[in-house]
Structure 1
Amino acid sequence: MVGQNGLKLAVHLITAHLGDLVAKVCSCLLHRGALSLQEVVRFTRLSISQAKNCLLVLIQHNCVQAFSVLVPGSTAKTMTQYIALFDNILHRMRFPKFLMVVKYDLGHEGEVLLEGLLQNGRLTFDQLVERTLSKTTEASASIREEMRANFNNLVHSHYVERCPKPEPFVGPDSEDQSTFARKRGAKTVPILPLEQQVMMAATLSNGERFSEISNGGNMTVDTDVADHHVATFSAQVRGFRDGSRASICNYENEVLWRANYEKFIQCLKKKACVLNVRSRLGLDAGTILEAMIETIDQENVENKNTVFASMGSIIERVREKPGGISMTLEHVRTILVDQLLCHSSTEDTNTWYTIDLNDIIEHSQNEEVETFIQARYGLEAYRIFRLLIKCGHPVETEQIVEITFIEKKNAQEILYKLWKDEYLEMEKVVMHGSGQTQLFLWKLNKRVLRNIS
C-alpha cells in the first residue's frame, strides 16, 4: 500500500501535467484501487463522457492500465476495470533524466524522438515522424529513413518498447490463492499485488516488445500475433462509442510505441551506484564499478541488479577510462575484493567477479532519506532515524534515548511525529509482571522510504 504522501505527490503531478479533471479520476483510482467505468463515474460524480475521456488520457500517458475480470457470480461474462500505475506516474518527474540518458548514449537525434513519446504518450511511428517533421523546414524520404534508423536504435537499446496488451484478462486464481495462503500460513508463496498481476498479464514477450520496424514502418514480428493485439486495442477504443478514440490513436491499424521506463530506471540506478561508490570509496573504485557494469548486456541478465564479469573484460574497460591506464592488475583485483566486496569464481582460465548492486542502492537510498529527514525534522530526528536504519529491527523508546543521548520527552515527540507522517512503524507491547507496562517499539517504514528515494 502506498503512503498518503506518495499519493498526494502522484495526484499533484497529474494535475500539473494533465489537468484537474484527469487528476480527479486518477486520484479516485489511486485511493480506491481498481474500478470499472461505472464506479469511476459514481465516485467522481463526473459525466460518463468526461470519465471516459479522462481514462483515455491516462491510458495514453501510461498512467492507467485496463484489464478484464470475470463478473462476480459469472463463469464466462467479463467486465473491464482500470488500475492506476503509481510508479509510472512518479516516473514523470524523471523525464528530463531519461532524455539525458538517451542524449549521452544515442545523441540528439534519439533524444528528439524520445521527447515526442514522453510528451505525447503512446504514438505510432508515423505520428512520431509527423511530429518531428513539423519542427523542421525540410521533409524528404531520406530524412524519414534516417529517423527510422534512429528509432530502431532506440528500440534495439530497449529505450523504447511496443505498448503492452490493451486489456489483458486477470483470472480469479489470485483470490483462490489468497484464501489458500491464509489457511496454510507463512509457508506459501507470497501473493503478488493486483497491479503487479495486471502488468505481468499485459507485458508482451521481449521478441514483440523490442521488434524493430522495417522500411515500410511495420514491425518485424509475427503477423498473426500483431494482428491479434491490434484488433484487441481497436475494439477497446471503439467500446467507448463517443468519438474520443482519436485522443488515443489516429491510426488504429498501426503499432503503438512508448518509452520503456524500466530500462531508464536501471540506467539511473547504475549511475547512482557508481556515484555513491565514488564518493565513499574513491575515484578508482567508482571507475572499476562503472567498467564492470559496462562489460555485460544487462538485458539478458535475469537479475538486473547483479553484475557478473571476467577480469579480462573489466581490465579492458578500465583501460578506456580516464586514469585507468595507470591501474595495475593487482590494484584492480584488490578494489574488487576488498572494497567492492565482489565474489570471485574461476572458470577455465578466467576469473569472474560478481557484485550485487542492491546493497549499494540501499545505502544510497538511506543517505538520501537521512538528508531529507535532517532538513525537515532537524538534527535530533536525523540521529534517531540513522540509528533505526543501522539497527534494522524494532527498537524500544528507552533504548533510543540511551543510545542517541536525546531527552526522553524530545525523543517521544520526534518519534510520534515521524510515525504520524508514516516514516516509522510503531508496535505497542504490553508487559505483564509485578504490574502492567506498555512498551513502544519503533522501526522504519521501508515501503514509504522507497517512495521517497
Structure 2
Amino acid sequence: MVTPYGNKLAVYLISTYFGDLVAKVCECLLRSGSLTFANILRSTKLNKLQVKNSLLVLIQHNCVQGYVIQLEGGFGEAPRILTQYMALFDNIIHHLRFPKFLAIVSDDLGKECSDILEGLLQHGRLSEDQILDRYMDTSNQSEAQDTIKNNFRRLVGARYVERCPKPEPFLAPPSEEEVAATKKRRVAKASSVFQEPETLEQRVLAAAAPMESLRFLLESFVNDDNCMVDGERKENNLMDGDEGRQNDQELDMTTQAQKEKKVLWRVNFEEFVRRLRHKACVANVKGRLDEGTATVLSSILKATRSAETKVKMGSSVPLSMDSMLEEVIKTEEGRSMNVDRVRAALVQLGCQVPMIELDETFSIDLGAIIELAQVEEVESIVLKRYGREAYRMFRLLSKASRPMETEKIADSTFVDKSETAKILLTLWKDDYLQMETLTANSGRETTYMVWKVNKGLLWNHVLDEMYHAALNLRLRLVHEIEQEKEIILAPKGIKFEKRVERLKKVRNVLESSLMKLVDATMLFHDF
C-alpha cells in the first residue's frame, strides 16, 4: 500500500541520506514501477555513469532490487532477456525505524551486538570480514576477534541479520497452471475465502531470497547462488538491444565482496517488523484489557517466535496449555498466575477454552487485535480533530454492519439532526465517511442520505495523512537543526542559553512526535 505522500517521504529520505541524484533515480522507480536501465536513462535524463552509480548505491542499501525477465520476441525473433530494477518502498521507509531496531537488539543481546548492527544499518551490505574490520576501527574497546565473531553469530542466530538476496534473479513467466489459478481467483473474488494474488514485488523478492536452509547459515559456500561473479551471467542477459547489453555489463550489481565469492549480510527487516508487531499487540491488550492478559499474550508470542516465519499472519502459532504455562511462569508477573487465570486470559483473547482440561493447543487471532488497534487510532484522530460528537458518530458507524440514515445517527448519538448533518458532511468531505443518496417511492419520491465507514479506503487515507505529517516533521526538524548550526558557529563569548534551551525542547517534541507517527504508520502498513 504505497500512497502519494508515502512516495514523497521515501524520496525525501533518499535525498537526505544519499543526495539528489540518487533520489531522482529512486523517484523515477517509485513513480513508474519496474524499469530497465535504458528506460531509467530516458526518464531521468541523467548520463549512464550517474544512473549506474545511483543504482549501485540504492542496491547496496537494499532500496532497489534487480531481476531478469523474458519477453516473447516478435514474428521470427528469439525471446528477449531484460534486466529490470524495482524500488523497495518498505525498505526505504525502514530508515525511519533504525533507532527502534538498535534499541531492540541492545535490550535483547547487548550493546556490542547493537554496535555491529549499526554498521550494517549504515552500510547496507557487508561481508563478515568487513563487519569485523569496521567494528575494530570504530570501537574504542580492544575486543578479541573471536568475541566480535561470536556477537555476530548471536545476531544471525536471533535472525536479526540474514544473507543478502540474489542480485538479479530470473523471474520465470507464469505457467499455464498459474494462469488458470489466477482466473479461478477472479471468479472467487466475491467469495469470503478469496485471497489476493501475489504482487510483482512479492514474486521478485521470493525469487531473490536465499533458500531457508542458507538464509541464516554462517558457513560460506564458494558456489553460493548469492555470490555472482563476472562472466557467470548469460550472454543473452541484455536490456534493450546491443546497447542494453553493454549497459548491463557496465552496471555490475555485485560488490567487491561478491566478486571475491564472499557472502554478504544485511539486516533482516522482517524479524524487526515481527518483534514490533508483537510489541504493539501486547501494548494494545494491556491498555484495553489488563496486565495479566498482556503477560499471557507476550509469553505465547515469545514461545512461538522461532516457529513464526511470516511477517503478516492472521493468528499466532498454536501452543499447548502446558507449554504456555511453562513460558508464563518465567515472567515476574506470571509467577502469581494459576491455570484458571491463564484460562480466563485466553477467553479474553478470543479463544474457546473448554471447562475440562484437555490436551489442546490455542492460537491467538493477532489480526483481530491489530484491527482493534487501527480502529482505536482512527477514533482518536476523529476525536482530536472533529470533537466528541463526531467521535460518537464515527464510532457508531464503524461498528454498524450496514449504512445508516442521518436521522437514525442523530437519534443514536443524541445530537440535533441539523448538527448531525453538518458533522457528517465534514467527515465526508475529509474522506473519513462514505455517503450514498437513496430515493424511496412511497406515494411520493423521497431522497435521503445514508452513511458508512469503508475501512479499506479510510485506512489508506489515514496512512497517507500520517506520511504527510511525518514528512512535515522531518522538514521542521531539519530547519531547527540548521538554526542550531548558527549557534554552534557563533564566536566565543556570545551566549544563547535561552535559545539553545528552546531548540532542545523543540527537537525533543519533534523527534518524539515523529517516533509516534512511525509506530502508527507500521500499524496501518506493516502489521
Q: Is contact 2:73–2:80 with CA below 8 Å preserved after alignment?
A: no
CA displacement at 1:119 relative to structure 2: 1.1
How far the C-alpha of 1:211 sits from its partner, in A, is: 0.3
Q: Which residue of 2 aligns with 1:216?
A: none
Task: State whether residues 319 and 362 of structure 2, in contact with CA within 8 Å, keep that contact through their aligned partners in structure 1.
Answer: yes
Residue of structure 2 equivalent to 1:354: 363
Structure 2: distance between partners of 1:189 and 1:324: 38
Deviations 1:410-450 (A, max 9, x none): 42133112x2xxx66x5766758566968675523144556
Matched, 1:164 2:175: no
Distance 1:348 1:379, change over 3 A: closer
Q: What's the RMSD between the two structures over aligned residues?
A: 3.5
For normalisation by structure 2, the TM-score amounts to 0.72
Superposed CA offset, 1:52-97 (max 9, x none): 2111111111111111112353653211111111121222211111
Look up the match of 2:427.
414
2:297 corresponds to: 289
Between the aligned partners of 2:325 and 2:206, the Cα distance in structure 1 is: 38
Q: Which moved more, 1:172-181 or 1:119-128?
A: 172-181
Q: Which moved more, 1:303-312 or 1:118-127?
A: 303-312
For 1:220-369, what aligned pairs fall within 5 Å after superposition?
Answer: 223-224=222-223, 226=224, 228-231=225-228, 248-250=255-257, 252=259, 253-299=261-307, 303=313, 305-337=315-347, 339-344=348-353, 350-369=359-378
**CA-to-partner distance for each residue in 1:176-232, whole Å, 9 max, x for gaps?**
56984698563786432111111111112111111024xxxxx2x5x53x0x43126
Using a 3 Å threshold, how does the CA distance of structure 1 residues 387 and 183 change in structure 2: closer, same or farther? Answer: closer
Displacement of 1:259 in angstroms is: 0.5
Structure 1 residues 35, 251: closer, same or farther in 2, change over 3 A? closer
CA distance in 2, matches of 1:335, 1:399: 37
Q: Paired residue for 2:125?
A: 122
Q: For 1:231, what is the secondary structure of its paired residue?
A: coil
3-state SS in 2 of match to 1:407? helix
Report the Cα distance in structure 2 between the residues aligned to 1:304 and 1:149, rounded to whole angstroms.
35
CA distance in 2, matches of 1:42, 1:400: 55
- Alignment deviations for residues 341-370 of structure 1 (CA, whole Å, 9 cap, x no partner): 224489996443221211112222332333
| 1-structure distance, mates of 2:247, 2:119 | 27
Q: Which amino acid aligns with 2:4?
A: Q
Q: Which amino acid aligns with 2:48?
A: I
Tell me how far 1:99 sits from its aligned partner: 0.9
Rg: which structure is higher?
Answer: 2
| TM-fit CA distance, 1:254 | 1.0
CA offsets per residue over residues 79-128 of structure 1, 9 Å max, x none?
Answer: 11111111212222111111111111111121111111111101111111
Classify 1:124/1:378 alpha carbon distance in 2 versus 1 (closer, same or farther; 3 Å). Answer: farther
* 8 Å CA contact retained: 2:308, 2:317: no
Listed as ranges, the gaps of 5+ residues in structure 1 are 214-218
- 5 Å matches for 1:172-191? 172-173=173-174, 176=179, 180=183, 184=187, 186=189, 190-191=196-197
**Any idea what the Cα deviations from partners look like across 1:361-412, whole Å, max 9, x if unmatched?**
2222332333345445555654454344333666666766665544323421
2:227–2:258 CA contact under 8 A, matched in 1? no
- Output one character per residue of 1:317-353: Cα deviation in whole Å (capped at 9) or x when no partner: 222222322222222222222x122244899964432
Match of 1:195 in 2: 201
Q: How big is each residue's C-alpha offset from its partner over 1:252-288, in whole Å with a ceiling of 9 and x where there is no partner?
A: 2211111111111111111111111111111111112
CA distance in 1, matches of 2:69, 2:136: 42
**How many residue pairs end up in the alignment?**
435
**For 1:431 and 1:366, how far apart are their aligned partners in 2?**
31
Separation of aligned partners in 2, 1:334 and 1:277: 14
Cα distance in 2, alignment partners of residues 77 and 63 from structure 1: 26
In 1: Cα distance, 2:108 partner to 2:205 partner: 28
Checking the alignment, whether the CA contact within 8 Å between 1:166 and 1:233 is kept in structure 2 is no
Partner of 2:317, secondary structure, is: strand
Cα 1:313/1:413, change in 2 over 3 Å: same
SS in 2 for 1:167: coil
Q: CA deviation at 1:312?
A: 2.2
Question: What is the identity percentage for the equivalent residue pairs of Structure 1 and Structure 2?
Answer: 39
